[in-house]
């Protein structure tokens, strides 16, 4: 039986965000700034589903500097390695950054900085799984699925509210 997924589009300081969840778990956050033709086909639009409401509330608190960690149950789908990387990302403290190489060391694969970068790029729940906190060893920002302007914004926001 196919799982029913619910969706809600919310506004944020970094543009509209598409939230996707099962009945009890957040599955995806997508930046809509670069995906102008996103539709809710395949999803049940639900503005009042508790998990979507809770996610919206916690994101709003994050964007005004009142939330540093998230308490949202997540549904992660990926390889064992990707999920390991995403879990490690959640341990990076608010307002801090680490390098891809450091992240690779933390997941016990110090020579796999590129693989860690790829897993980082496949993160289905940005902001809540803070892949924006990973930068290059030389201090450059590296990539970000939502675009570098959004990555800069998130890092600056966290520095201000540290």
**Domain range for 99:** 80-160
CATH number at residue 46: 3.30.160
CA distance 79 to 72: 21
- Is 131 catalytic? The answer is yes
Catalytic residue among 17, 29, 127, 131: 131
Q: pTM value?
A: 0.92
CATH number for the domain harbouring residue 114: 1.10.10.10
> For 64-123, how does the pLDDT look when each residue is reduced to its tens digit (9 = 90+)?
999 999 999 999 999 999 999 999 999 999 999 999 999 999 998 777 888 999 999 999
DSSP 3-state assignment of 153?
helix
Domain count, the chain: 2
Map tokens 């290059």 to a residue: 136
93 with 140, same domain: the answer is yes
Neighbours of 92 (CB within 10 A): 19
Q: Report yes or no on 73 lying in a domain.
A: no
* 70 belongs to a structural domain: no
- pLDDT, tens only, 117-132: 999 999 999 999 999 9
Cβ atoms of residues 104 and 81 within 8 Å: no
Same domain, 94 and 146: yes
DSSP 3-state percent helix, strand, coil across the chain (nearest 5): 35, 15, 50
């Amino acid at each position: 039986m196919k799982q029913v997924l619910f969706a809600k589009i919310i506004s944020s300081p970094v543009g509209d965000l598409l939230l996707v969840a099962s009945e009890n778990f957040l599955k995806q956050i997508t930046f809509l700034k670069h995906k102008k033709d996103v539709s809710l086909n395949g999803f049940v639009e639900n503005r009042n589903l508790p998990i979507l409401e809770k996610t919206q509330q916690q994101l709003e608190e994050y964007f005004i500097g009142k939330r540093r960690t998230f308490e949202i149950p997540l549904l992660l789908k990926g390889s064992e390695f990707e999920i390991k990387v995403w879990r490690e990302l959640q341990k990076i403290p608010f307002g801090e950054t680490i390098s891809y190489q450091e992240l690779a060391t933390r997941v016990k694969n110090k020579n796999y900085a590129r693989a860690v970068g790829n897993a980082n790029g496949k993160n289905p729940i940005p902001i809540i799984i803070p892949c924006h906190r990973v930068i290059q060893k030389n201090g450059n920002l590296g990539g970000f699925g939502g675009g570098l302007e959004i990555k800069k914004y998130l890092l600056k926001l966290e520095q201000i509210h540290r």
